[in-house]
Amino acid sequence: MRIRFRMKKNLSGAEIVLEGLKGEGVEVVFGIPGGALLDLYNMLYDEEGIRHILMRHEQCAAHAADGYARASAKTGVCIATSGPGATNLVTGLATAQMDSSPVVALTGQVPTAAIGSDAFQETSTFTLTMPITKHNFLVKRTEDLPKVIHQAFYIASTGRKGVVLIDLPKDVLAERVDIDTDVHVKPPGYNPKTEPNIMQIKKAVDVLVASSEPVILAGGGVISANASEEVRVLAEMLQAAVVTTLMGKGAIPEDHPLCLGMGGMHGHYPANKALSECDVLLAVGTRFSDRLTGWKTEQFAPDAKIIHIDIDAAEINKNIQVHIPIVGDAKAALSAIIRNLERRLEKSGGTSPRNEWERRVREMHRICESCINTDGDDMLSARMIKEIGRILKDDTIITTEVGQCQMFAAHFYMTKKPRNFISSGGLGTMGFGFPAAIGAKVACPDRDVVDIAGDGSFLMTCQDLATCIENDIQVVVCIFDNRYLGMVRQWQELFFERKYAHTHLGVTPDFVKLAESFGCYAERVERPEDLREAFKNAFESGKTAVLDLIVGKEDKVLPMIPPGGGLTEMIGVERCNI
């Protein structure tokens, strides 16, 4: 793949970068300027084709670019200056990389002649970000910029998507050169495999046709590959149960009668039961993380033939040994399975009925919906989330922080569409949800965006309320306010004899006053039945709103797999209506 650059005389590095961004269709960037980036920002300020959103912390710039990417399926772009700007980006980039989200980061760097001299605001961003990016570049010559910019977007958005960082020394941005070049967009050593091996597809179909209790496990790769429709079609053809991972939430509408919800440590009981009892498991776009499989991996689908579709060959047999690996794009592989299965069924004259299994799956789905008794004193958070689910429109984008609020949302909020549930699954980054909501709202301005937050998480990135007000970006933050680092507190309660070591957060701040000081709408809510009015007020305010939901200090996410346990050893199951 080549891109031809027309002859252009006397372009500065900064101008080439902006040309490159526009050439890649970039409409919005999230960033903060700084000394090393003065040349770039000087040009960006006059650039009408690119909207710059000034964030209040570089971590938030990375999360916003990530949220933008996850909501829109486009590549998100963030910008930070050298030194502290770049180090602040690190958490955000690692978060995006762990969840295979396509993000391109541009960082300023001290002039090439000063690199290595411990100059003001110098840090080795290149070596610092190597292990948390899919690839990174340190550009030493202005004439290399066209190639680097386009390769960066190509690498970030193809194969297993991820983060690419471009480190831009000040002199490289300032220098002027003539550009007349052919750019090879594909680096010679980069050959992402998307088309599945047809022999493996046939083997998979053989196993699926012969199965009596098939389960499809849909991971983030399904959403990344836009393969949700294929999952639904295949599930219905096979009468297979569908379990999702946290990252796969929304891969199938959760009210679909074959969907059993999320599996794993804080997953739904029926989902884990199906995972441990199925005879064939078709895992798509999942890396079998420890939060999914539990610690005792021998309890994970022990009797099943496992088919694993993943675009990254390195995920095959990494955490779980599988029987039929299929390396390729989830959409391409699932489509191939569907086509093959259709031909097979035509020949044999109809479906192989799995009526008994389908009946059980539908029964488990019914259980899943009302699975947990939320009447208890420590279930106020759950009742709040369920009520929020009843209030919000089906196409609302939910983002979450990390911890109890995240797992309450994963468990009790029913997601109907892909890309409508955005959460930091791999890295588990507190403070992710709010800036990700900003990015999602910028990507989808016509839809409602709601961050399900905890009071601990929200304080980590709440300064970007200023970004929302200054840029007129309207999101709603629901703080599940229990004045604790709730998930750690829950573990201390259950596994450390209620010794609440440094998990109590005290009594400050007053979140309503905090939000109001930024010019936001804010309201305190103490009862689920008051939520509808609060959301009405929030949306009608026309501003970013913060709802401070007072929830129980001892609220717990149950059932769960205890530390060291496996899928069949969930505790708190007595709360399930099964």
Partner 1 sequence: MISLLVEDNPGVLARISGMFTRRAINITSLTVSPCEKPKLSRMTVVINGSERELEQVRKQLNNLIEVIQVRELSSEDAIVRDLCLLKVSAKKEQRAEILQLAESYGARVLDATLSTLTFELADEPRKIDRFVEIMRHFGIKQLLRSGICAIARD
Residue ranges in contact with partner 1 by CB under 8 A: 126-127, 130-131, 134-135, 138, 140, 155, 160, 187-190, 312-314, 316-318
Q: Which of 394, 387, 442, 389 is nearest to 418 (CA)?
A: 394
Rounded least distance, CB 127 to partner 1, Å = 6
Q: At closest approach, how far in Å is the CB of 146 from partner 1?
A: 17
| 384 catalytic residue (yes or no) | no
Tokens at residue 33, please? 């300027």
Report DSSP state, residue 256: S
| Rounded least distance, CB 186 to partner 1, Å | 10
* Separation of alpha carbons 107 and 89, rounded Å: 9
Comparing CA positions, the residue from 94, 80, 97, 104 lying closest to residue 154 is 104
Report, in Å, the least distance between residue 445 CB and partner 1: 34
Given a contact cutoff of 8 angstroms between Cβ atoms, the answer to whether 401 and 482 are in contact is no
Asked if residues 137 and 77 have their Cβ atoms less than 8 Å apart, the reply is no
The answer to whether 121 is a known catalytic residue is: yes
CA atoms of 242 and 275, how far apart (whole Å): 10
**In the complex, what is the shortest distance from the CB of residue 326 to partner 1, in angstroms, rounded to a whole number?**
15
Q: Residue 123 carries which DSSP code?
A: -
**Catalytic choice (8, 47, 121, 229):** 121
DSSP class of 265: T
The catalytic residue among 22, 120, 536, 540 is 120
Is 58 annotated in the active site?
yes
Nearer to partner 1, 160 or 383 (CB): 160
Annotation marks residue 239 as catalytic: no
SS3 482: coil
Write down the least CB distance from residue 188 to partner 1, Å: 6
| Residue from 134, 170, 249, 543 carrying the catalytic annotation | 170
**Using omega within 30 degrees of 0 as the cis cutoff, is the peptide bond preceding 559 cis?**
yes
Sign of CA dihedral 564, 566, 569, 575: positive
Q: Which is nearer to partner 1, 191 or 355 (CB)?
A: 191
Closest distance between partner 1 and the C-beta of residue 239, in Å?
34
Q: Which of 15, 19, 24, 58 is catalytic?
A: 58
Q: Which is nearer to partner 1, 181 or 541 (CB)?
A: 181
Comparing CB distances to partner 1, the nearer of 320 and 443 is 320
DSSP labels, 383-426: HHHHHHHHHS-TTPEEEE-SSHHHHHHHHHSPP-STTSEE---S
For residue 543, give every residue at least 6 positions away whose Cβ sits within 8 Å of its Cβ, in sequence order, or none.
468, 469, 474, 519, 520, 521
- Give the β-pairing of 8-12 and 2-4: unpaired
Of residues 183 and 520, the one with the C-beta less far from partner 1: 183
Q: Considering beta carbons, is residue 112 or 463 the nearer one to partner 1?
A: 112
Quote the Cα angle for 560-565-567, to 5°. Answer: 65
Of 147 and 249, CB closest to partner 1: 147
Is residue 553 among the annotated active site residues? no
Q: Which of 364, 414, 460, 487 is catalytic?
A: 487
Task: Tell me how far apart the alpha carbons of residues 487 and 318 are, in angstroms, rounded to a whole number.
Answer: 28
Positions marked catalytic: 58, 120-121, 170, 487
